[in-house]
Homo-oligomer: A and B are copies of this chain.
C-alpha cells in the first residue's frame, strides 16, 4: 500500500474511533449536558482530564461559571442520547427534562452524574486555553463513580458486560470487539 499525503487533515476523521462521552455541568441553577469525543486523560497523580469544547457551546459558558464539569462514559445503549444532547443546545431548554436524563448524586462537586453512565469523573476546573476554534478545558478529577460489576478487579472495562459507545466520525457509532482481547506486556515487548 502507498499512503496519500496532503497538507492539512481533510475530513479529520482518521483519529477515530473514540469513546463518546457526555460532559455535564451545573451552573446558574441549571443542569446542562453536551456530547464530547475529543477528550483525554492528562496526568495520573493528581488525576487530570481534558476535553475540547467549542466556544459556541452553552456548556462551556456554564463550566467557566461553575469551575467544574463531569465526564460521563456511556454504553452503546445510550448512543441515541449522546446524539440527542450533541444535536441540541441547553439555550433552547432543559435537556435533562427533554430527554428524560436521570441524575445521581455527585460526591465532591455539583456536576450531574448520569445514572446511565457506566463511569463518571467529577472534575474541578484547573485551566482552560483556546487553541484554534476550540477551548481545551482541563480539570482535576476529584471523584469517580462507576458500576463495579462492569469492570474487572483492575478497573478495566469488562467488555462481556458493557459495550462503550465508540464514535467513528460522520455520525457513526460502534463498540469494541469482545473476542479479540490480547495481553501484550510492554515490559516483555520492550526487551525484544
Interface bin, chain A: 35 or more
| Copies of this polypeptide in the complex | 2
Which residues of chain B are within 8 angstroms of A108 by Cβ–Cβ distance?
7
From B7, B19, B148, A142 is in contact (CB under 8 Å) with: B7
Quick check: which of A23-31, A62-70, A151-159 contacts chain B, the rest being far away? A151-159
* A44 in contact with B187 (CB, 8 Å): no
- Shortest CB–CB separation between residue A169 and chain B, in angstroms? 5
Of residues 2 to 20 in A, which have CB atoms within 8 Å of B's CB atoms?
Answer: 2-19
A147 and B68 CA atoms in complex are apart in Å by 40
Which residues of chain B are within 8 angstroms of A178 by Cβ–Cβ distance?
174, 177
* B192 in contact with A84 (CB, 8 Å): yes
* B15 in contact with A73 (CB, 8 Å): yes
* A18 in contact with B18 (CB, 8 Å): yes
Instruction: Indicate the member of A44, A71, A164 with the most B CB atoms within 10 Å.
Output: A44
Which residues of chain B are within 8 angstroms of A142 by Cβ–Cβ distance?
7-8
Which residues of chain B are within 8 angstroms of A8 by Cβ–Cβ distance?
47, 141-144
Q: A15-B19, A173-B181 are in contact. Are A42 and B156 (CB under 8 A)?
A: no
Which residues of chain B are within 8 angstroms of A41 by Cβ–Cβ distance?
12, 15, 38, 52
From B6, B152, B164, B180, A143 is in contact (CB under 8 Å) with: B6
* B176 in contact with A155 (CB, 8 Å): no
A45 and B146 CA atoms in complex are apart in Å by 35
Instruction: Indicate the member of A43, A113, A185 with the most B CB atoms within 10 Å.
Output: A43
Kindly report which residue of chain B lies nearest to residue A182, judged by CB atoms.
Answer: B173
